[in-house]
Structure 1
Amino acid sequence: MRIPRPSRRLALLGATAAAALSVTAVTLPGVAGAAPHPQQRPTIVLEHGAFADASSWDGVVERLRHAGYPVVAAANPLRGPAYDAAHLRGVIDRVDGPVVLVGHSYGGTVISRAAVGMEDKVKALVYIAAFLPDSGESSLGLTNKLPGSTLGEAVEPVEYTLPGGVRGTDLSIEPDKFHRQFAADVPADKARLMAAGQRPIAAAALEEKSTGAAWKTIPSWSLVTTGDRNIPVAVQRFMSARAHAHTTEVDASHAVSVSRPDAVVRIVEKAARTAR
Structure 2
Amino acid sequence: MNGLLRKVLRFGTMISATALLSSALPGCGGGDTDGGEGGDGPQGSERNTYVLVHGAFVGGWAWDKVVPLLEAGGNEVIALDLPAHGDDQTPLADASLQAYTDAVVAAIDGASRPVVLVGHSMGGTVVSQAAEARPDKVKTLVYLTAFLMKDGQSLNQEWADDEGAAIKAYAVPSSDGTSLSFKEGWAEDAFCQDCSPEDIARLESNLRDEPAKPFGEPIHVTEERWGRVPRVYIEALRDLAISPAEQEQQYTALPCERVISIDAGHAPFLTKPNELAQALRSL
Q: If the TM-score is normalised by the length of the shorter chain, which range does it land in?
A: 0.7 to 0.9
Aligned residue in 1 for 2:20:
none
**Greater helix fraction, Structure 1 or Structure 2:** 1
Contact 2:124-2:143 within 8 A present in 1 as well: yes
Which runs of structure 1 show a deviation greater than 4 angstroms over 4 or more consecutive aligned residues? none
The structure having more radius of gyration, on CA atoms, is 1
| Cα RMSD, aligned residues only | 1.9
Shift of 1:40: 6.0
Deviations 1:4-30 (A, max 9, x none): xxxxxxxxxxxxxxxxxxxxxxxxxxx
Alignment of 1:1-276 (within 5 A): 41-77=47-83, 79-159=95-175, 169-212=178-221, 215-245=226-256, 246-271=258-283
State the TM-score, normalizing by the size of structure 1. Answer: 0.77
Q: Secondary structure at the match of 2:174?
A: strand
Which gives a bigger RCO, structure 1 or 2 (Cα 8 Å, sep 6+)? 2
State the TM-score, normalizing by the size of structure 2. Answer: 0.75
Alpha-carbon separation, structure 1, partners of 2:173 and 2:133: 35
* Number of matched pairs: 227
Identity %: 30
Alpha-carbon separation, structure 2, partners of 1:39 and 1:251: 29
Alpha-carbon separation, structure 2, partners of 1:267 and 1:105: 17
Alpha-carbon separation, structure 1, partners of 2:278 and 2:244: 20
Alpha-carbon separation, structure 1, partners of 2:150 and 2:98: 14
Unmatched segments (≥5 aa) in structure 2? 1-43, 85-94
Distance 1:64 1:127, change over 3 A: same
Unmatched segments (≥5 aa) in structure 1? 1-37, 160-166, 272-276
Alpha-carbon separation, structure 2, partners of 1:241 and 1:81: 25
Of 232-241 and 45-54, deviating more is 232-241
Contact 1:175-1:196 within 8 A present in 2 as well: no
Alpha-carbon separation, structure 2, partners of 1:145 and 1:172: 20
Alpha-carbon separation, structure 2, partners of 1:200 and 1:49: 13
Shift of 1:62: 1.2
Question: In structure 1, what residue type is equivalent to 2:79?
Answer: A
Of 167-176 and 132-141, deviating more is 167-176
